[in-house]
Structure 1
Amino acid sequence: MIHDILFYLSIFLIITTIIPFIRHDFWIFRVFEFPRLQKLVFNAVLIALILFFSFPEILMDYIVIGLLSLNAAYLIYLIFPFTRFGSKQIVKAMNAPNENNLKVFIANVYQENRNSSAYLKLISSCNPDVVLMVETHEWWQEQMDVIGKEYPHQLKIPISNTYGMLLYSRLELFDGEVKYLVKEDIPSIETLVKLPSGQLVKLFCLHPEPPVPQENPKSTERDKEILLVAEKAKASKYPVIVMGDLNDVAWSYTTELFGKISGLLDPRRGRGFFNSFNAKYFFLRFPLDHIFCSTDFSLSSIKRLPSCNSDHFPMCVDLQFNPKAEKLNDAPVASEADLEIAEEKINAETTDS
């Protein structure tokens, strides 16, 4: 009985690792990209249980143990870059924070959450230059507008469909625009931010739909929005920061493709997972809230902040503009195949097309 249960659980786990190789946009093929760390832990537990309860006796047992071992090795390969043992894409800032630093705070507040005071305290303690809050409607705008005196430069799109966005900045914003890149009810923000040194930085803020049955059964719209921003970032003549809840994990195929197309860096690589979702369930946590930057930045700090009753942890990242870092950073590069796949995804038919 135990032998059969462990056998079928092992086969199921192996299948969940194979499924993401199928490059289909339907949610069932994309959702298994998320829990790679959880699958690795489950994989290790299964191997231990099989060896303890039913030491391999027949050929099929040895095959299953072998497949689980290969599965574990592959999962380690996928998540290793996001451990402290992986190589860093972006170097640590060589100078103390100065007039070229830009500290950003991002939070998916969970629209029905009413603990705005906790966010206000966090913003005060983090002391960021730019604050981005998503899943924000009119109530959230009313609560957060109290920081308006300290953060007078604002772009606000309060919407009750869980895709509202509030951007507050103590630094001057230029050419700020609200875009609807893929769907007419899902906004993103593009703006220039002027650092105290006078340097302009292009900022992209986004929150695409997740590929889940209750939202959108396909990842087509999410992937398209992410990759459209990647192309915009690559074409920018300014240093670039992309931030927001991408509803995709840091190690997914689409996020890796985003990095290659945009040439932007992920400060988590070589530093840790910084799992920002789900704040309510410790065993189901993934890195969904992202901050990427161009190669002319170095990193002063990156922190996952305490929960404020949302299902997401806020993130605070302090970046330092430094063109000298460009030679030291490890910029991802797109192959011809990557460019073709990205173009195909960008041109894909969507439900609003």
Structure 2
Amino acid sequence: MLSVFVICTVVTVIATLLPLSRHPHWIVRGMDFPRLQIAIIALLLLIAQSILLDVTAPISWGLILATLFCLIWQLTWILPYTRMWRSEVKTAKDANPQHQLSILTSNVLTPNRNADALIELVNKHQPDVLVTLESDKWWEKQLEVLEQAMPHSVKCPLDNLYGMHVYSRLTIDEHEVSYLVEKEVPSIHILLRLRSGDKVRVHFVHPAPPSPTENPESAERDAELVIVARSVAQSEQPVIVTGDLNDVAWSATTRLFRKVSGLLDPRVGRGMFNTFHVGFPFLRWPLDHLFHSTHFTIHSIERLPSIESDHFPLFTRLQFAPQSGAEQQGLSSDENHHQWAKEITEQQGVNELDVPQPGEPNKFL
């Protein structure tokens, strides 16, 4: 019995400590994902140790303390994404529809053929903007029915699981499709005009994940996130970054993105909104994100029903309220964070100037 507890505790400790390394290998970075699951395992292990071990033996206390450390450490990462934490983004008080912006983000899964389910959600929730990820020519054809109500669009159909489409009820003044880090992984960058006439810079991203079947390291994903973060950090415009980041909300890389960009996460203090994987309830993580500048407060954020993809859609309704949101504050950064960001981008030979800056007066300089 003791040997079983020793093995279980050692594995839990390794899984907890491994993400402390900045090594980009997919195994190391993959341990960022299951923090909630590891916390649950550590809690169950701690209960079993307390009941079944001889608590008078020093080794028992060593195992108990090690497991307790793992539990507390994992909780420090995930508690901000529970209602036990103070909300980072204010709840909107203004209900003026002229200043509202709603975005539905949906990774449709290219082989999925249940387009009707997504169309039904769009008709029900009436988002101002729909962005689809992993959408190909077939999906583009099916979604043509939305174009009467959402006449503004940017289309990048691909059959490599990285296609992307944007449909909008609101006017798109500028748009550009870019391949920021990898030549087959696009991103879309637009200048969106609200009903009030205010303009918002929006970046839709879907970097490739670190995995044994795609990129063995997270370097490409991390570089794309960092250059977008550095680009928007220099903007005084209202900014939104959304999409499937193939990273969890609490990872070191996503936190670096937030620290460098200065953008806010409306999930903090409200919930995890785990969008992946639909088919495995115990293995779900928040992979689909929406971050925004302090110009916005939030009406609602919700995970929508499955459309038979491996991702749930995410629906977010924001309020453009610069004065009300001015006091909001996200994660702070220091020189070490900016140096780490610089190292990530230099490794891939990219920088923030590669990111389109719709609406910026010097974008063509």
Q: Which amino acid counterpart does residue 309 of structure 1 have in structure 2?
A: E
Q: Is the 8 A contact 1:103 1:317 kept in 2?
A: yes
Could you say which residue in structure 1 is the equivalent of 2:34? 35
Q: Which amino acid counterpart does residue 293 of structure 1 have in structure 2?
A: H
Q: Which amino acid counterpart does residue 40 of structure 1 have in structure 2?
A: A
- 1:117-141 deviations in Å (ceiling 9; x for gaps): 1001111111100000001111111
Q: Which amino acid counterpart does residue 52 of structure 2 have in structure 1?
A: F
Deviation, structure 1 residue 57: 4.3
2:331 counterpart of 1:332 = yes
Aligned-partner SS, 2:159: coil
CA distance in 2, matches of 1:278, 1:160: 21
Aligned-partner SS, 2:31: helix
Could you say which residue in structure 2 is the equivalent of 1:258? 257
Could you say which residue in structure 2 is the equivalent of 1:91? 90
CA distance in 1, matches of 2:332, 2:194: 28
CA distance in 2, matches of 1:20, 1:301: 32
2:179 counterpart of 1:180 = yes
Could you say which residue in structure 2 is the equivalent of 1:148? 147
Could you say which residue in structure 2 is the equivalent of 1:269? 268
Q: Is the 8 A contact 1:261 1:338 kept in 2?
A: yes
What does residue range 1-353 of structure 1 map to in structure 2 within 5 Å? 2-349=1-348
- 1:9-43 deviations in Å (ceiling 9; x for gaps): 11101110100011101111100000000011000
- 1:173-204 deviations in Å (ceiling 9; x for gaps): 01200011001110001110000000000000
Q: Which amino acid counterpart does residue 284 of structure 2 have in structure 1?
A: R
Deviation, structure 1 residue 251: 0.3
Q: Is the 8 A contact 2:157 2:164 kept in 1?
A: yes
Q: Which amino acid counterpart does residue 339 of structure 2 have in structure 1?
A: E
Aligned-partner SS, 1:347: helix
- Provide runs of 4+ in structure 1 moved above 6 Å: none
CA RMSD after TM alignment = 1.3
Distance 1:97 1:49, change over 3 A: farther
CA distance in 2, matches of 1:226, 1:342: 10
CA distance in 1, matches of 2:76, 2:38: 13
Q: Is the 8 A contact 1:263 1:332 kept in 2?
A: yes
Deviation, structure 1 residue 331: 2.8
CA distance in 1, matches of 2:29, 2:330: 26
Distance 1:67 1:97, change over 3 A: farther
CA distance in 1, matches of 2:348, 2:293: 30
CA distance in 1, matches of 2:235, 2:86: 27
Q: Is the 8 A contact 2:90 2:325 kept in 1?
A: no
CA distance in 2, matches of 1:224, 1:216: 13
Q: Identical aligned pairs, as a percentage?
A: 39
CA distance in 1, matches of 2:321, 2:63: 51
CA distance in 2, matches of 1:327, 1:264: 12
Q: Is the 8 A contact 1:97 1:300 kept in 2?
A: no
Q: Which amino acid counterpart does residue 195 of structure 1 have in structure 2?
A: L
Deviation, structure 1 residue 252: 0.3
Gaps of 5+ in 1: none
